[in-house]
């Protein structure tokens, strides 16, 4: 099995275990918006937003690949 896949599975397992152990209801405040939600849901939403933000930033700052395979012939 690929080591990268093993690390991803391990991190997801630890995150899932953390969420299950933190299922209490909490108050979330953002600017003028307040909501009560399960801590597990708040953690999952935060995790997904972090993944999405990281993916977007890597897409923005990725250097374009130069495909000059026709020039090498």
**pLDDT tens string 37-57:** 888 888 888 888 999 999 999
Q: Which tokens is 39 given?
A: 């801590």
H helices of the chain, in order, are: 3-20, 39-61
Q: Give the span between the Cα atoms of 73 and 19, in whole angstroms.
A: 55
Average pLDDT over residues 11-39: 87
Q: Rounded to the nearest 5°, which phi and psi values hold at 31?
A: 55, -115
Query: pTM above the 0.75 mark?
Result: no
């Amino acid at each position: 099995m690929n080591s990268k896949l093993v690390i991803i599975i391990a991190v997801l397992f630890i995150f899932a275990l953390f969420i299950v152990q933190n299922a209490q209801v909490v108050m979330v405040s953002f600017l003028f918006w307040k909501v009560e939600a399960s801590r597990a849901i708040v953690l999952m939403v935060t995790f997904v937003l972090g993944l999405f933000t990281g993916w977007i930033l890597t897409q923005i700052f990725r250097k374009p690949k130069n495909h000059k395979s026709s020039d090498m012939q």
